[in-house]
Structure 1
Amino acid sequence: MKTKILFFAFFLFQTITILAQDMASLRTEALKSYKASVNMNFDAIFETTYPKVFDIVSQDQMKAMFGQMMENEQFSIKLVEVEPNFSFGEIKKIEGKTFCFIDHNNVMSMKFKEPMEDAESMVEIFKSSMSAEKVTYDKLTNSFRIEMRSTLIAVADDLTKNQWKFLNKDKENKMFSMLFDEKIVKALGL
């Protein structure tokens, strides 16, 4: 009986230790991913991105898309580094893969090149289309500050050598659905 209790205690201790290590590495990697994005460090962004993404869009294509999105004829976008205040969901194991949703603060500055005619309607558009919590317009700089909570989906599996890699969660979960089967999508409530 004493052996069984000792074995159970050891097993429980190991499980708690593994989960604590998993959460510690998840926190570290999530911060690395956040900082890479804020600094627009493409190499670091690609290093923290779930690798199957690059089967759909190459790194060169992604770099070009980011470049076009961040600076074009109409506006420029800069991500503003703030305290991310990560909020970690439950770590779930499904079909040999491990997932976790991570919410974090995300702030961007969007500067328009032409004067804004109707800044108030743009504020409302940003709030609804981006689920932004706060949008402010600065007439002097012709720019919007957009504050929101964004969600990263962390994935660790054989492909990542069980290291955490990330996807940005979009509203319709299109990218996630392209990468994972319907069973996983349903199990995660997407």
Structure 2
Amino acid sequence: MKTKFFVSLFLMMSLLFSAQNNHQQAISKSFSSFLSQLKNRDIDHVVENIYPKFFTVLSKDQMKMILNMTYNNPIMKVEIINYKISHVGNIELVDGEYFSIVNYSTRIRCNAEGMQEEMRENIKKMLVQKYGSGSVVYYPNEMAYYINAKTKAVAISKDRKNWKYVLVEKEMKQQLNKVLPKKILDKI
């Protein structure tokens, strides 16, 4: 009798773990596609894959403007060289929506060519403040900054099939209080 109970329990736990793992793989694939759109500067698709509740804090037009200013700026060209998803967290149901925290890293190149020395120094200070001194390197021969950023995002879905994202930025933490549940924010 005990053996049947333990076998049944083991099978049930295996099925639950397998389902959780499949959902995490789906998030990883979907988020990789999202990052690829960002890397390719496909701003319209990026904005369509942002969690709709985020647009109560910042409108879609404002978000498009910010992304275009960042990734299509002729003065300082920002380029995502590569990205890697390091961990997709467990999926949690909160208030009828599923949430998962995604840890990822990106390697970014910021071209500082044509900038005055003072402007390059200001940019470096800003980048170091945001990403940390060990994560920002300036190569004078290329006139470019390279950034190794470890970042987080939150994946959100109503059906565990179609995922939308919120990129977690330190400077946006206050606004995220209006978008994400406290239970999720406390884990970021």
Q: Deviations over 1:7-29 (max 9, x none)?
A: 54553243122112111101111
* Change beyond 3 A, Cα 1:144–1:183: closer
* Change beyond 3 A, Cα 1:95–1:118: closer
* Change beyond 3 A, Cα 1:55–1:82: same
Paired position in structure 2 for 1:23: 24
Q: Is the 8 A contact 1:116 1:142 kept in 2?
A: no
SS of the residue 2:23 aligns to: helix
Deviation of 1:119 (Å) = 5.3
Structure 2 gaps of 5+ residues are: none
Paired position in structure 1 for 2:163: 164
| Greater shift in the superposed pair: 9-18 or 147-156 | 9-18
Amino acid aligned to 1:168: L
Q: Deviations over 1:59-87 (max 9, x none)?
A: 333212222233558x3232223241422
Deviation of 1:114 (Å) = 2.0
Q: Is the 8 A contact 1:38 1:80 kept in 2?
A: yes
Q: Does residue 11 in structure 1 map to residue 3 in structure 2?
A: no
Q: Is the 8 A contact 1:119 1:137 kept in 2?
A: no
* Change beyond 3 A, Cα 1:89–1:131: farther
* Change beyond 3 A, Cα 1:20–1:72: closer
Amino acid aligned to 2:187: G
Paired position in structure 2 for 1:189: 187
Number of residue pairs the alignment of both structures matches: 184
Higher relative contact order (CA 8 A, sep 6+): 2
TM-score by length of 2: 0.78
* Change beyond 3 A, Cα 1:60–1:17: same
Deviation of 1:126 (Å) = 1.9
Q: How does 1:35-54 map to 2 (within 5 A)?
A: 35-54=36-55
Amino acid aligned to 2:93: K
* Change beyond 3 A, Cα 1:131–1:102: farther
Amino acid aligned to 1:97: E
Tell me how far apart the structure 2 counterparts of residues 5 and 85 of structure 1 sit (CA, whole Å): 36
Q: Is the 8 A contact 2:152 2:167 kept in 1?
A: yes
Tell me how far apart the structure 2 counterparts of residues 16 and 183 of structure 1 sit (CA, whole Å): 22
* Change beyond 3 A, Cα 1:174–1:38: farther
Deviation of 1:95 (Å) = 3.2
Identity fraction in percent: 16
Paired position in structure 1 for 2:151: 150
SS of the residue 1:114 aligns to: coil
Q: Is the 8 A contact 2:24 2:90 kept in 1?
A: no
Paired position in structure 2 for 1:96: 96
Tell me how far apart the structure 2 counterparts of residues 121 and 102 of structure 1 sit (CA, whole Å): 31
Q: Is the 8 A contact 1:26 1:164 kept in 2?
A: yes
